[in-house]
Amino acid sequence: MAESADEQPIKQRKNGLYPAVSDELAENMKTGWADTELRGLRPVPQAGHTADRRARLSARFPGERLVIPAGNLKTRSNDTEYSFRASVEYAYLTGDQTEDGVLVMEPDPAGGGHQSTLYLLPRSNRENGEFWLDGQGELWVGRRHSLSEAQQLYGIQCADVRDVTAELRAATGPVRVVRGHDAAVEQALTDKVTAEQDTELQVFLSEMRLVKDEFEIGEMEKACASTVRGFEDVVKVLDRAEATSERYIEGTFFLRARVEGNDIGYGSICAAGPHATTLHWVRNDGAVRSGELLLLDAGVETHTLYTADVTRTLPVGGSFTQLQRKIYDAVHEAQEAGIAAVKPGAKYLDFHLAAQRVLATRLVEWGLLDGPVERVLELGLQRRWTLHGTGHMLGLDVHDCATARRETYAEGTLEPGMCLTVEPGLYFQPDDLTVPEEYRGIGVRIEDDILVTDDGNRNLSAGLPRSSSDVEAWMARLKG
Residues that bind Mn ion (CB under 5 A): 309, 421
Q: Which residue, 122 or 424, is less far from Mn ion as judged by CB?
A: 424
Q: Which residue, 94 or 421, is less far from Mn ion as judged by CB?
A: 421
Run of H or E including 383? helix 383-386
Rounded distance, CA 129 to CA 137, Å? 9
Min. distance of Cβ 279 from Mn ion in angstroms?
Answer: 10
Q: Which residue, 207 or 397, is less far from Mn ion as judged by CB?
A: 397
Q: Which residue, 335 or 421, is less far from Mn ion as judged by CB?
A: 421
Min. distance of Cβ 297 from Mn ion in angstroms?
Answer: 7
Count the alpha carbons within 13 Å of 258 in the hemisphere toward its beta carbon.
Answer: 7
Min. distance of Cβ 357 from Mn ion in angstroms?
Answer: 20
Q: Around Cβ 117, how many Cβ atoms within 10 Å? A: 18
**Among 69, 60, 64, 61, residue whose Cα is nearest residue 188:** 69
**Among 351, 349, 342, 354, residue whose Cα is nearest residue 416:** 342
Min. distance of Cβ 359 from Mn ion in angstroms?
Answer: 17
Cβ-proximal residue to Mn ion, closest one: 309
Min. distance of Cβ 392 from Mn ion in angstroms?
Answer: 6
φ, ψ at 209 (rounded to 5°): -85, 0
As a whole number of Å, the end-to-end CA separation of the chain is: 61
* DSSP string over 316-328: TTSS--HHHHHHH
Q: Which residue, 44 or 270, is less far from Mn ion as judged by CB?
A: 270
Min. distance of Cβ 237 from Mn ion in angstroms?
Answer: 24
Min. distance of Cβ 480 from Mn ion in angstroms?
Answer: 30
User: What interhelical angle do 47-60 and 147-154 show, nearest 10?
Assistant: 80
Rounded distance, CA 184 to CA 71, Å? 10
Q: Which residue, 421 or 429, is less far from Mn ion as judged by CB?
A: 421
Torsion of CA 61, 151, 124, 30, to 10 degrees: -150
Q: Which residue, 324 or 421, is less far from Mn ion as judged by CB?
A: 421
